[in-house]
Chain A
């Protein structure tokens, strides 16, 4: 089967090429529709974007996703420095610094020319309540209303009381957009969008499932890159089509004996946000050592309930209820026990040999449980672990050699 798949990941086969086109078109479409008068919303990643499909002409941009894209394209440092020049501390999240640097300099140096100016900003506080502080910066600078969804943190599975509280807030969100945009919300359209999201997540999990094959059919780096359209095309048929193509293509490759790390000796799991500035370098160098980071908590949580792996399927009824129940589909809002539960399941499913805990200065919510999580994985599950220092988007805070000294030590521990 023809494939441009280089060792260590990055499938530049049909789905890889389609991904680039899709992301480019999503951003172009966002700018175009905004310029033609669409109601523009900026959202945090967990905000239920499917709801916007219930309106005639509402488009959304995701500052975190935009910042990750900038970091992946090498624009992180220059944009961070701009924000620092505006007085924002180097200790602040690098996503925030990149995005503030972009927004306050007219989109210069951003591969997408930034995002179109919003009419409404919506954040939530379960993934990270600093998002609220970050989005407040724009709210104040531009006088744009900022709506916060207050989603309680999950030390255990979502409680009914929390579910009802979230549902009430979705009602406020919908009425706010109706009032501001003059458009009516159509629940059936939102239901269709939710159905498509649910379909897409099934295909996404089918794709991730090839990490269980030995050697693995994928790398976690593939999943990092391929998660982008979840944030730009959520709730659309093109997202379903894309993930179906991705999973089909991966299945075909596995059948034909094509693997990202053919001489795979070590199967690793990554815990934290992707190191966007290191994807190619890190995957390639690890592949040279016979190591494949096959799975990542950052991507396996998507589409699942807290502490789970399998997708949470839509039952076809109330789209708001599905979205409210799935308001914890990233790792950050999960307590330690839920994180342990999901990671244990993935370690067992995918026969993981070692876990890389990426201690990320830019994401305390993800990182500040890792030392105890690592102790549990090492002592209770008997899996070797290592912690490396990373900043997900600011390469100036990352040392490749220091990281690889530890990664190589992990491989030695696995061999021992």
Chain B
């Protein structure tokens, strides 16, 4: 099997700007572009200027037996099947990283323990360009967990090349300090009959903008893109998804859920799906739900679906942004539960299904705790805000 296939036919759509390593193809954004209009460019702290930097994040890795981590040049990464940048940050990362980390999971290796990569930064003064390439061999089975902590201005391009019949669970946790800036692009190429689950979990950072893109290397591939985010006052958390159905009988299922609380909390969810002419018999569904806990928050949610063939199993999307449901709170309160406890239960329930779906036991408990800590933060810090949120919804 050759990983680098001929370039797919270009579809004229802002959903998929052509990949290019040439920076001239990705001019610095003004903020008026469709793909940049939600992002507060000033808070990128000059990241898109593209200054060279040697700074690195600290790596702490746990690798199951048989899995190897090495370094390759940027050119080698391309030859190994890296998916090219569709926008400026990824192009900058590819050109300035000085080489890529390569994680290799050999064909048919079934890992019982997850690959855990902990990346931490010391200070937001550090500008870090990252380039990562994950090769998962045919019929391999592995869970890859990335955890980002500390602070940095971090911009990374990551590619997951998933072999035929492989089963891969990817979780990327953004638990940054308050001032961190993180631009990331994860692109996944799903092999024939392979199954990939990619989960983004974003709690921390001042500005986090992540892409999760998926395309297929043959029929029968399945992709599940999950996300969970919790934006506090002043935080900008942006998740951009793209499922490119370029092969028949493939499936994509996108489910992102977020909560927002505090003045200036801003979340953006863009769910793009392209069903190409050759993608007959595919099935896709994307969903985004936001729970707005206080006044002063903004949740932007935009699903886009472009269909070039009607010969499909199904395509749908749903997006909903709401406050706490008064009827749910009434029902719980009518059973003696205090309004604070009722809100905690509803929020817990809002995320519970999604957390269970992630399928990484050691993370599940931690995430449930983190969600409850986030809510407690709000209740302790600003008890009045809930009241005003309720008034606003009445």
Binding partners A and B: no
B contact residues vs A (CB 8 Å cutoff): none
Which residue numbers of A lie inside 8 Å of B, CB to CB?
A: none
